[in-house]
Amino acid sequence: MTQKDKTNTAILISGTGSNMEALIKAAQNPDYPAKISLVISNRPKAKGVETARKLGIKVEVIDHKSFETREAFDQTLTNCLEAHNIELVCNAGFMRLLTKEFVTHWHNRQLNIHPSLLPAFKGLNTHERALQADVKITGCTVHFVRNDMDSGPIIAQAAIPILPNDTALTLKQRVLEVEHQLYPEALKLVASGNIRVVNENALISKTYEAAAPLFSLPLSR
């Protein structure tokens, strides 16, 4: 696949950027249908900024604190994304609520990953709440972004069992491991044109064979 056939993709981060790193590394495969050409962080000191630079990806820091309104911040994000001809946006631990205008502008072109089996446990402290609720299975979800937080058509999910000795920390680490497998697969599906949104459902093309493992990811590599 030539560089110009690939979907031009940006990643938005606020912190560690381990999902970002998984996406960048997956996209290094010459056959991967997306090209990661930009990372934007809203926090200047996010660890992911350094990681992305080391991996040779262009990074822009747009510090939300230097904007008076959410609208002004989001408009600057869109301007930056458009200046780089971005077609798809992947939120990867991007911890800012986005305005309706931004979400509408990037409709079906913006993905998010959340560390639960949505619609369960939207928002923060996901793993603590999963443990408190005593659910036996948790996991992660990649979805298209809509106005309500952590909602939108579900592209892919992966499940893992909650083990008797799990703490919020062990659970977070085990869910992150599957996030790093799921997000690259989900971006691949979208970037290769194998997802269509119909009546707010994300439908996977029947011919896309690689979709099957998304629902039963192995616990470890």
Q: What is the contact surface with ligand GAR in residues (CB under 6 A)?
A: 15-19, 92-93, 113-115, 150, 176, 179
* Type of residue numbered 86: I
From CA 164, how far away is CA 149, in angstroms rounded?
30
Q: Which two tokens stand for residue 39?
A: 């990372």
Q: Which residues are catalytic?
A: 114
Write the DSSP assignment of 181-212 as a string of letters: HHHHHHHHHHHTT-EEEETTEEEEPTT-GGGG
* CA 158, chain centre distance (Å): 14
Cα–Cα–Cα angle for 149, 194, 93, rounded to 5 degrees: 30
**Which of residues 9 and 18 has its CB atom nearest to ligand GAR in the complex?**
18
**Which of residues 86 and 90 has its CB atom nearest to ligand GAR in the complex?**
90
Tell me if 177 sits within 8 A of 111, measured CB to CB. no
- Please count the other Cβ atoms lying within 10 Å of the Cβ belonging to residue 156: 26
- Smallest distance, ligand GAR to C-beta of residue 64, A: 16
Question: Which residue lies nearest ligand GAR, judged by its C-beta?
Answer: 93
- Smallest distance, ligand GAR to C-beta of residue 132, A: 17
- Smallest distance, ligand GAR to C-beta of residue 88, A: 17
**Which of residues 81 and 158 has its CB atom nearest to ligand GAR in the complex?**
158
**Which of residues 15 and 33 has its CB atom nearest to ligand GAR in the complex?**
15
- Smallest distance, ligand GAR to C-beta of residue 25, A: 13
* CA 144, chain centre distance (Å): 9
